[in-house]
Chains A and B, each alone.
Chain A
Amino acid sequence: MLNYIWSGIVVLSVVCAALLGNTRELSEAVTDSGAQAVALLLKLAGMLCLWSGIMKIAQESGFTRLIARVFAPLLRRLFPRLDPNSEVFGSISMNISANLLGLGNTATPFGLKAMRGLHLMSGGGDRATDEMIIFVVMNTASLQLLPTMLGALRQSYGSKAPFEILVPVWISSACALATALIITCVINKISSRRRRI
């Protein structure tokens, strides 16, 4: 799927640029994109390495197990095949708590660790498991409780009530998350039933 979307974007961009006469801008973008990607990766690298280090402490000290216990009632329903005492379960819990606190950059390293755990559990391969899909989809819906960056941005652009959007944001995130989880779980159920037959 990503193959088609990626190549679709590239082809569409080039065709549009040719039709609209933006070929110079497009060429500049090609040269630019490499440097931009490296800049983004460097920014990511600092966070990734730092929080991977902190995560290791959290794991060895049993902190993740504590967090996992908090989320266990909820997560056991979403991931019935996972052992609540496993390392993966802990990584998923850390990812969720970082997301809720609005620490997006922190959540990513935890999430990548959880994905590697899920991959190991499935015995490798190139096919996404039901658990991976649920986890990734949860991360593509915004779980943040207090969007501080957004509030700060609104304030700096002259909003009289920067956080008036809070309730709509919660409702909207909750609806998005519900949609994603319902679709995922229904398709998971259907495909596992088909496999059994």
Chain B
Amino acid sequence: MDFAMPVFATVIVIFGLVRRVPVFDCFTRGVLEGVAVLRQIAPSVMGLVFAVQLLQSGGAVDFICQAVTPLADALGFPAEVVPMMLLRPVSGSGSTALLVSVFEKCGADSFAGRVASVIAGSSETTFYAVAMYYGCIGVTKTRHTLPAAIAADLTAFVVSVVTVRLFL
């Protein structure tokens, strides 16, 4: 499966050769477009990394976790998974680090470890994606994008606990 990425690229290049497209010219022109896109997404990424860094370092994540834990308990969420759930929508690397800490603390095959795994596999870094996709075209009125995306994340959290209970 590690092989998927090179195979995907090679298939496209060979397809281009068969269709007699000047593949290298196309490639370089495309890269130039990529540079332009990078310039457009840079500000959003900068802003988001700044906010997430502040959130983690100031102790706000721990603080919110303590506030949310009773509610999580009542709903049947393992307490160890709460920090990861909170960080999941804003930071990919941050939530992966917290996933690993759940594995270390409880084991990958524990209830908490399984729930954390399913959450990691079924949710995305929502805010990051929204900021980047809209940032690159300068759209600021995102309308109901965030409410719908957050509802999706919450659904993933709840269904993760339910499915782990049912299937594993």
Contact = CB atoms under 8 A, between A and B. Distances in A.
Interface in A151-181: 153-154, 157-162, 164-165, 167-169, 171-173, 175-177, 179-180
A22 interface: yes
Interface size bracket, B side: 35 or more
Given A40-B49, A140-B126, A161-B109, A175 B159 contact: yes
B144 A187 contact: yes
B135 to A, nearest CB: 9
Interface string B29-69: 11101110110011001111111111111111001000000
Interface string B128-159: 01111110111111111111110111011001
Nearest to B135: A2
A73 B100 CA distance: 40
B159 A172 contact: yes
B12 A63 contact: yes
Contacts of B143: 127-128, 133, 187, 191
A53 B37 CA distance: 12
A33 B163 contact: no
A148 B2 contact: yes
B71 interface: no
B13 to A, nearest CB: 6
Interface of A: 1-3, 5-6, 9-10, 12-14, 16-17, 20, 22, 25-26, 28-30, 32-34, 36-37, 40-41, 44-45, 48-58, 60-63, 98, 101-103, 106, 108-109, 111-113, 115-116, 118-119, 125-128, 132-133, 135-137, 139-142, 144, 146-148, 150, 153-154, 157-162, 164-165, 167-169, 171-173, 175-177, 179-180, 183-184, 187, 191
A108 B132 contact: yes
Given A61-B15, A150-B120, A132 B139 contact: yes
What does DSSP make chain A's interface, helix, strand, loop or mixed?
helix
A169 B130 contact: no
Contacts of B130: 2, 136, 140
A27 to B, nearest CB: 9
A29 B57 contact: yes
Output the residue of B33, B126, B152 with the most chain A CB within 10 A.
Answer: B152
Nearest to B160: A172
A112 B18 CA distance: 27
Contact of B133 (A22, A112, A154): A112
Given A51-B34, A175-B159, A57 B13 contact: yes
B118 A172 contact: yes
A158 B140 contact: no
A29 B117 CA distance: 28
B148 A187 contact: yes
Q: Considering residues B4, B41, B121, B124, which has the most beta carbons from chain A within 10 angstroms of its beta carbon?
A: B121
Given A140-B129, A179-B152, A150 B117 contact: yes
Nearest to B153: A176
B62 to A, nearest CB: 8
B53 A148 contact: no
A115 B138 CA distance: 11
B72 interface: no
Interface string B103-128: 11001110001100111111110110
Given A60-B16, A108-B132, 18 more contacts: A9-B90, A13-B51, A13-B55, A25-B59, A26-B54, A29-B54, A44-B45, A49-B31, A57-B13, A112-B136, A133-B144, A140-B124, A157-B103, A164-B168, A167-B167, A169-B117, A171-B163, A180-B152
